[in-house]
């Protein structure tokens, strides 16, 4: 089963698309990742982000650039970044206290000076906005299900039911943090006398590797690092009795070959 891409999950978390609703109804892994991304987006919307102080030397370089153009430089002191609300309130106070004067057309030199000062201010605003944007992207990239990055699909298989008590299931091999995992998904686990064991078999079912117990409808099992999937391409799920015998019981309920 092909999982949703990171872009598709992000769009769903932000409410930009609902085209994958059918897939989410049948995929517990993607549903869990989407829930985590939506929770992250809500925390981010509700959080207060304070602009950061520009790095040392930024103001000196700005003033040097202005001076290089031959324009007079008004006394400017570096200051810590403040919120937009504080900027607006300060501007309103200055406007209210200023004497009312008749409007006049600015001279060419004054226009050039204003343009230069506006350019410096715009540069500072852009720096602050870039810092906030970078912080936002870091939050969205790092925060996913359990802090883990999005997995990469390597192979998948349709598991055919070998008994009438179960419906078809699915298996896939994914890679996460450099580790290969076999994920087995079923609509539900059957009621059995014993436990379910997951195996990888060779093409002739003469050799096999036990991976572990399937104890949930969606189960992840770690693959040995040196296991060659081309040599053991068949996924098999068997019913095993509690008899202390580690070998395959011969009672399989699902089986299918991985498409490598």
Q: Is residue 52 part of a domain?
A: no
Q: Which tens digits make up the pLDDT trace of 35-70?
A: 888 777 776 666 556 666 777 777 788 888 777 766
201 in the same domain as 169: yes
| pLDDT for the residue numbered 55 | 74
Number of domains in the chain: 3
Q: Does the pLDDT of residue 234 top 60, yes or no?
A: yes
User: Where does a domain end: 84, 119, 142?
Assistant: 142
Cα distances (Å, whole numbers) of residue 129 to 57, 85, 257: 19, 15, 51
Q: Is residue 118 part of a domain?
A: yes
Q: Is residue 11 part of a domain?
A: yes
214 in the same domain as 171: yes
252 in the same domain as 158: yes
Find the range with the poorest average confidence among 20-24, 120-124, 249-253: 120-124
99 in the same domain as 37: no
110 in the same domain as 188: no
Is-contact 225 241, C-beta < 8 A? no
92 in the same domain as 70: yes
3-state helix, strand, coil in the chain (%, to 5): 35, 20, 40
Q: Is residue 9 part of a domain?
A: yes
Q: Is residue 28 part of a domain?
A: yes
Q: Is residue 79 part of a domain?
A: yes
Q: Which residue segment(s) compose the domain that 14 sits in?
A: 1-43
Q: Does the pLDDT of residue 224 top 90, yes or no?
A: yes
User: Where does a domain end: 142, 173, 188?
Assistant: 142
Is-contact 215 185, C-beta < 8 A? no
| pLDDT for the residue numbered 41 | 73
Q: Which tens digits make up the pLDDT trace of 92-109?
A: 555 555 554 444 444 444
Residue 210's beta-bridge partner residues?
199
Helix (H) or strand (E) holding 136: helix 108-142
Q: Give the DSSP per-residue string, 6-75.
A: HHHHHHHHTTS--TTHHHHHH-HHHHHHHHHHHHHHHHHHHS--PPPPPPTTHHHHHHHHHHHTT-----
CA angle 74/80/85 to nearest 5° reads: 95
Q: Is residue 48 part of a domain?
A: no
| pLDDT for the residue numbered 151 | 67
111 in the same domain as 166: no
Token pair of 131, please?
Answer: 């810092």
Rg, C-alpha atoms of the chain: 31
77 in the same domain as 114: yes
User: Where does a domain end: 77, 110, 142?
Assistant: 142
Can you tell me the distance from the alpha carbon of 107 to that of 4, in angstroms, rounded to the nearest whole number?
Answer: 60
| pLDDT for the residue numbered 48 | 55
| pLDDT for the residue numbered 67 | 77
| pLDDT for the residue numbered 110 | 44
Q: Which tens digits make up the pLDDT trace of 9-42?
A: 777 877 776 666 677 777 877 888 878 887 777 7
181 in the same domain as 118: no
Q: Is residue 163 part of a domain?
A: yes
């Amino acid at each position: 089963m092909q999982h949703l891409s990171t872009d598709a999950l992000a769009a769903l978390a932000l409410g930009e698309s609902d085209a994958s609703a059918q897939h989410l109804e049948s995929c517990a892994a993607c549903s869990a990742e989407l829930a985590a991304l939506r929770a992250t987006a809500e925390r981010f919307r509700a959080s207060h982000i304070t602009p950061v102080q520009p790095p040392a030397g930024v103001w000196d370089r700005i003033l040097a650039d202005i001076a290089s153009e031959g324009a007079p430089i008004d006394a400017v002191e570096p200051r810590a970044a403040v919120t937009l609300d504080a900027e607006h309130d300060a501007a309103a106070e200055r406007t209210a206290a200023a004497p009312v004067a008749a409007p006049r057309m600015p001279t060419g030199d004054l226009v050039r000076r204003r343009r230069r000062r506006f350019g410096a201010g715009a540069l500072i605003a852009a720096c602050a906005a870039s810092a906030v944007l970078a912080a936002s992207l870091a939050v969205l990239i790092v925060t996913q299900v359990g802090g883990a990055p999005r997995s990469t699909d390597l192979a998948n298989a349709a598991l055919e039911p070998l008994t009438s008590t179960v419906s078809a299931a699915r298996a896939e091999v994914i890679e996460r943090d450099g580790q290969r995992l076999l994920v087995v998904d079923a609509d539900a686990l059957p009621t059995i006398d014993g436990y379910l064991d997951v195996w990888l078999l060779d093409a002739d079912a003469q050799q096999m590797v036990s991976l572990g117990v399937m104890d949930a409808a969606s189960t992840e099992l770690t693959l040995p690092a040196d296991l060659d999937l081309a040599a053991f391409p068949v996924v098999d799920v068997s019913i095993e009795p509690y008899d202390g015998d580690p070998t395959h019981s011969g009672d399989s309920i699902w089986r299918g070959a991985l498409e490598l």
